[in-house]
Structure 1
Amino acid sequence: MKIYTKTGDEGQTSLIYGRRVAKDDLRVEVYGTVDEANSILGVVHAQMVPYAHQLHDLQKILLRIQRDLFDVGRDLATPEDKDDQPHVTAEHVALLERVIDRLEGELAPLHQFILPGGHIAASELHHARTVVRRAERMCVTLLREQAANHEIRKYVNRLSDLLFVMARVVNARLAIAEPTVDFSAPAQDVE
Structure 2
Amino acid sequence: MSIITGRGDDGKTDLLFGRRTDKTGRRVEALGAVDELNSALGLARASGLEEGLEELVDEVQEKLVGLMGQLACLPEDAATYDEKGYAKVVEADVGWLEQQAGIYEDRGVRFKGWARPGAEHSVARAGLDLARSVARRAERRVWELHEQEGPLPQPVLLFFNRLSDLLWILARVDAEKLKH
TM-score tier, shorter chain, comes to 0.7 to 0.9
C-alpha deviation, 1:128, in angstroms: 0.8
Report 1:101-180 matches (<5 A).
Answer: 101-108=102-109, 112-117=113-118, 118=120, 119-147=122-150, 148-169=152-173, 172-173=174-175
Counterpart AA for 1:77: A
Q: Distance in 2 between matches of 1:24 and 1:70?
A: 21
Q: Distance in 2 between matches of 1:31 and 1:151?
A: 16
C-alpha deviation, 1:18, in angstroms: 1.1
Q: Comparing both chains, which one has the higher relative contact order based on Cα–Cα distances under 8 Å and sequence gaps of 6 or more?
A: 2
Q: Which secondary structure state, in structure 2, belongs to the residue aligned with residue 82 of structure 1?
A: helix
- What 5-or-longer segments of structure 2 have no aligned partner? none
Q: Distance in 1 between matches of 2:29 and 2:75?
A: 16
CA distance 1:109–1:124, shift in 2 (3 Å): closer
Q: Distance in 1 between matches of 2:176 and 2:126?
A: 13
Output the TM-score relative to the length of structure 1. Answer: 0.82
Of 59, 77, 95, the match for 2:72:
77
Between Structure 1 and Structure 2, whose CA radius of gyration is higher? 1
Report 1:8-157 matches (<5 A).
Answer: 8-48=8-48, 55-84=50-79, 85=82, 87-108=88-109, 112-117=113-118, 118=120, 119-147=122-150, 148-157=152-161
C-alpha deviation, 1:112, in angstroms: 2.5
Tell me the matched-pair count. Answer: 168
Output the TM-score relative to the length of structure 2. Answer: 0.87
Counterpart AA for 1:97: E
- What 5-or-longer segments of structure 1 have no aligned partner? 50-54, 176-191
- Answer yes or no: is the 8 Å Cα contact 2:38–2:61 preserved in 1: yes
Identity %: 34
Q: Distance in 2 between matches of 1:108 and 1:156?
A: 20
- Answer yes or no: is the 8 Å Cα contact 1:12–1:21 preserved in 2: yes
